[in-house]
């Protein structure tokens, strides 16, 4: 990922009364506006912030939804709370306090260390297609309202062109209205039209690498969700070609299914849903008619290039996001870094290179390590003895509640995205962990599994 380098460093501070345009009202855009206004107020600067977002997040289904699993990680829940953003109970469809790992027809539950609800499962819009509009509160609407409560103006039209006039970015919307700004922030997500706007601006922006995922909402009813899924997120390690990772997330009367892999398609999703492990998590009476909403969004798996220039910066998925996990956390970090840079340093390309770029670059580096970890998970999917060893070690840790549940913590951190991948890698390379894991592998190869606390679930 490169930045355009200015031949001489010129800083453009955001003066009192400056106008900022945020294109995209999802988490990255709303949080950028929120932090710009919050920090500006602290330092006694007034800003005019416009958020261009044509979607009505209060509606239901894919047309209103920004399509993701809808998980706010453990670390992000805490970070937002410290920033003064407490997720209200009506927003959180389910507080998650554990993970259940399913593999080889078996399952093991991994609990949070502190026995409290620290992961939030929620909807991005007002719920799946069949939900009653307005009944379910969504994250995107909450964050957009939060930004507006500080003075941001929600412009409910789309932007059709961004150009420059007298060195300032000029934004033209679908109604033909034109307005110049001191700063334009791109927060459009993985969106072809949005990306084209910034290419036409002369940013030399290059799109991120993406892959297709699958997200489905199953209407199971509250009782079934409680009975079959509880307050756990269910994750699956299965040997299916093209399959990387999948999760089923309880959310009130619904369950969200997310399937990640190498360009996921309908055939892979069908194969996944038909496995014994998945069928064991759903009622026996479950039928395809209960899939009330589905989409196959593309996600960012490799950072974009040239994500800033004079008076223009890109945040969130549109630029760089965490690999497979904690996308909303990455949106928060890039949004905050953008706001801090703009207010305390300036909005020239060089300002962003010196003070903003380190944040997306840190995420990119961590993603590289994450790719190594996910590449390593390939061996676990393919080699039964590795899976058995991992499973046995986790089960024993959870049964005996050892003071150093090393495997449980590694799996927890991988599943939740709560810690950087470099911390997971470091935990995995610790001699104490490796030596114990090797012993479990030897035991697994020898076929000894008597001391584990496995719960075998077979479809009757």
Partner 1 sequence: MRIGAMGKIYPDGSEIVKQGEVGNSMYIVQKGEVEVVYSDGERQIVLSVLGPGDVFGDMALFTKSPRSATVRAKDQAIVLTIDKQGFLKRVHEDPSFAFLILKQMSERILKLDEEVSRLKGASVSSQTEKMTNIQSGM
Which residues would be at the binding site for partner 1 (CB under 8 A)?
39, 42, 75, 77-79, 81-84, 86-87, 89-95, 97, 114-118, 120, 231, 252, 336-337, 340
β-strand pairing of 119-122 with 92-96: antiparallel
- Give least dist CB 446 to partner 1, A: 38
Phi, psi of 83 (to 5 degrees): -80, 0
CB closer to partner 1, 258 vs 337: 337
CB closer to partner 1, 117 vs 170: 117
Angle of the 421-428 helix axis to the 406-416 helix axis, nearest 10 = 160
- Give least dist CB 265 to partner 1, A: 34
Dist. CA 277–CA 455, nearest whole Å: 12
Q: How many CB atoms lie within 10 A of CB 88?
A: 8
- Give least dist CB 226 to partner 1, A: 9
- Residue 42 has, within 13 A of its CA and on its CB side, a CA count of 9
Q: How many CB atoms lie within 10 A of CB 144?
A: 26
CB closer to partner 1, 89 vs 376: 89
Residue corresponding to tokens 């909005």: 347
DSSP class of residue 267 equals H
- Give least dist CB 313 to partner 1, A: 17
Dist. CA 310–CA 169, nearest whole Å: 9
CB closer to partner 1, 38 vs 55: 38
Kind and range of the H or E element at 226?
Answer: helix 222-228
- Give least dist CB 64 to partner 1, A: 21
- Give least dist CB 348 to partner 1, A: 21
What SS3 class is residue 155? strand
Q: Is 316 left (phi over 0), alpha (psi -120 to 50) or beta?
A: left
- CA torsion, ordered 327, 331, 333, 337, to nearest 10 deg: 150
CB closer to partner 1, 160 vs 358: 358
Phi, psi of 121 (to 5 degrees): -100, 125
SS3 of 409-427:
HHHHHHHHCCCCHHHHHHH
What SS3 class is residue 131? coil
Q: Residue 101: name the closest of 377, 437, 302 by CA.
A: 377
CB closer to partner 1, 142 vs 236: 142
Q: Which tokens in the block code for residue 10?
A: 């010129």
CB closer to partner 1, 50 vs 366: 366
CB closer to partner 1, 97 vs 309: 97
The residues, ordered by sequence, that sit 6+ positions from 115 with a Cβ below 8 Å of its Cβ are 97
- Give least dist CB 363 to partner 1, A: 12
Dist. CA 252–CA 243, nearest whole Å: 27
- Give least dist CB 375 to partner 1, A: 26
Give yes or no for a contact between 335 and 31, defined as CB atoms under 8 angstroms apart.
yes
- Give least dist CB 145 to partner 1, A: 17
CB closer to partner 1, 114 vs 401: 114
- Give least dist CB 336 to partner 1, A: 6
Dist. CA 35–CA 425, nearest whole Å: 32
CB closer to partner 1, 106 vs 336: 336
- Give least dist CB 94 to partner 1, A: 6
CB closer to partner 1, 77 vs 101: 77
């Amino acid at each position: 990922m490169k930045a355009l380098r200015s031949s001489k460093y010129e800083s453009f501070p955001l003066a009192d009364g400056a106008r900022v345009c945020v294109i995209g009202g999802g988490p990255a855009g709303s949080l950028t506006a929120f932090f710009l206004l919050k920090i500006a107020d602290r330092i006694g600067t007034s800003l005019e912030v416009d958020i261009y977002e044509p979607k009505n997040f209060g509606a239901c289904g894919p047309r209103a939804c920004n399509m993701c699993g809808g998980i706010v990680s453990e670390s992000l829940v805490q970070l937002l709370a410290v920033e003064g953003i407490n997720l209200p109970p009506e927003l959180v469809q389910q507080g998650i306090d554990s993970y259940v790992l399913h593999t080889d027809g078996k399952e093991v539950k991994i609990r949070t260390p502190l026995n409290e609800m620290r992961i939030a499962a929620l909807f991005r819009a007002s719920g799946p297609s069949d939900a009653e509009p307005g009944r379910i509160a969504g994250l995107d609407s909450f964050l957009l309202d939060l930004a507006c409560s500080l003075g941001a103006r929600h412009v409910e039209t789309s932007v059709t062109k961004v150009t420059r006039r007298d060195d300032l970015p000029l934004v033209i919307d679908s109604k033909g209205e034109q307005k110049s700004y001191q700063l334009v922030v791109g927060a459009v997500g993985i969106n072809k039209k949005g990306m084209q706007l910034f290419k036409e601006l002369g940013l030399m922006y290059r799109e991120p690498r993406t892959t297709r995922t699958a997200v489905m909402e199953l209407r199971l009813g509250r009782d079934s969700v409680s009975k079959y899924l509880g307050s756990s997120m269910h994750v699956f390690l299965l040997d299916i070609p093209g399959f990387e990772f999948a999760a089923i997330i309880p959310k009130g009367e619904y369950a969200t299914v997310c399937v990640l892999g190498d360009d996921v398609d309908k055939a892979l999703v069908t194969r996944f849903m038909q496995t014994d492990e998945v069928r064991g998590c759903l009622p026996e009476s479950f039928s395809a008619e209960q899939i009330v909403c589905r989409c196959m969004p593309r996600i960012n798996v490799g950072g974009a290039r040239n994500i800033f220039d004079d008076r223009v910066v890109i945040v969130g998925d549109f630029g760089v996001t965490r690999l497979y996990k904690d996308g909303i956390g990455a949106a928060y970090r890039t949004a905050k870094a953008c706001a801090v840079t703009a207010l305390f340093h300036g909005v020239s390309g060089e300002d962003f290179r010196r003070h903003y770029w380190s944040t997306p670059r840190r995420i990119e580096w961590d993603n590289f390590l994450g790719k190594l970890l996910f590449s390593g998970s390939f061996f676990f999917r393919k080699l039964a003895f590795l899976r058995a060893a991992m499973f046995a070690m986790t089960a024993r840790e959870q049964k005996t509640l050892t003071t150093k549940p090393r495997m449980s913590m590694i799996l927890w951190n991988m599943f939740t995205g709560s810690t950087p991948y470099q911390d997971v890698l470091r935990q995995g390379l610790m001699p104490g962990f490796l030596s114990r894991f090797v012993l479990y592998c030897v035991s697994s190869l020898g076929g000894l599994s008597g001391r584990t606390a496995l719960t075998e679930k077979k479809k009757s």
